[in-house]
Amino acid sequence: MKMKKLIGNIMLTTGLIGGAIASARNPPLWVVVGGALGVMALGILFRRQGEREELHKTAAHGKGGKEELKKSLEDALKEIEKVMEEKERDIEKAREKLGKVLEALENFAEKAQPLRIEGIRVYGEVMTSFSKAERHLNRAWSAYADGYIREGNAYLESGYAQLRETSKIL
């Protein structure tokens, strides 16, 4: 799998350089440019096939599956609930806990890659919802850090709701 991606990268690079050299000549060597484009196309096919095989292998080993993603979302939702309770008492502690939640969610997009096997639509719906949640949680953290508590509360609640929506989509 990694070998196909490597071969694809080499072919893509070779075709690009060869095509650039052949097209820079005066007059251009159109046959060589055409051949270079063919090599680049094959390189792209090899890369895509290698990526697809890696996704299937990852899914077969149970890494990044729906259950793992749901678990990480559930953990994050529990922690955000604690942040929502904490914000009433100590905004600094709430911001620290929210920062830890955001760190835990950093790898979500990477873990969600195997969802592409089920189709780009499923992957797109999950990631669209997740990205909104992540963006709102980051805004909440930033607002708390700058002392805008009302704004932070609004974004925290919005991010929480969006994260719940992401969990439902999964």
Q: In this structure, are 57 and 92 located in the same domain?
A: no
The 3-class secondary structure across 98-146, one letter per residue, is: HHHHHHHCCCHHHHCHHHHHHCHHHHHHHHHHHHHHHHHHHHHHHHHHH
Quick one: average pLDDT of 134-156? 91
- Mean pLDDT score of the chain: 86
Q: In this structure, are 18 and 83 located in the same domain?
A: no
- Decide if 156 contacts 141 (C-beta within 8 A): no
End-to-end CA, the chain: 28
Please write the tens of the pLDDT for every residue from 58-104.
666 655 567 778 888 898 899 888 888 876 677 888 888 888 889 88
Quick one: average pLDDT of 123-147? 91
Quick one: average pLDDT of 18-47? 93
Domain of 70?
Answer: 66-169
Q: Say what the pTM is.
A: 0.65
Classify residue 25 by its DSSP letter.
S
HSE value, Cβ hemisphere, 13 Å, CA-based, for 52: 10
- Decide if 73 contacts 163 (C-beta within 8 A): yes
Q: In this structure, are 83 and 151 located in the same domain?
A: yes
* Domain stop point among 23, 41, 61: 61
Q: Which residue has the tokens 């697809």?
A: 52
Q: In this structure, are 19 and 84 located in the same domain?
A: no
